[in-house]
Amino acid sequence: MSTRGIVKQISEARSPLSLGQEEQITWSTFREAIRVVCYPPFLRKTTATALVIGLVLFSINHLDEVLRGQAVVGTWIKGALTCLVPFCVANWGILIATRRPR
């Protein structure tokens, strides 16, 4: 495939943040931001990101405690928070990318 063909494919590709030519997912108010964050395709991606990154971070930070049988309630709370951080970061990125100027 020629370089022109690749450039044409890239230019014709839909943006991951758009639903089509006529509708894009954007926000300018808090209520609209919640709608963007809860938009199912975005929610699936941010949740998957949070689970993968959270699992890696949990393994790095707490797997030894779990394997030794020394995990207490606090360990599991920290594990949940470890997944919450990448979820928030992924959503923050989506909100930055989709913000509509007022």
Per-domain residue ranges of the chain:
3-98
- Between CA 64 and CA 71 the distance in angstroms is 9
Query: Given pLDDT bands bounded at 50, 70 and 90, which one contains residue 10?
Result: very low
- Between CA 100 and CA 25 the distance in angstroms is 9
Q: What are the structure tokens assigned to 16, written together?
A: 């991951």
- 28-72 confidence digits (pLDDT tens): 999 999 999 999 999 999 999 999 999 999 999 999 999 999 999
Residue whose tokens read 């020629």: 2
> Exposed, middle or buried: residue 46 (CB in 10 Å: 0-12, 13-18, 19+)?
buried
Q: What percent of the chain has pLDDT over 70?
A: 77
Q: What percent of the chain has pLDDT over 90?
A: 75
* Full-model pTM: 0.73
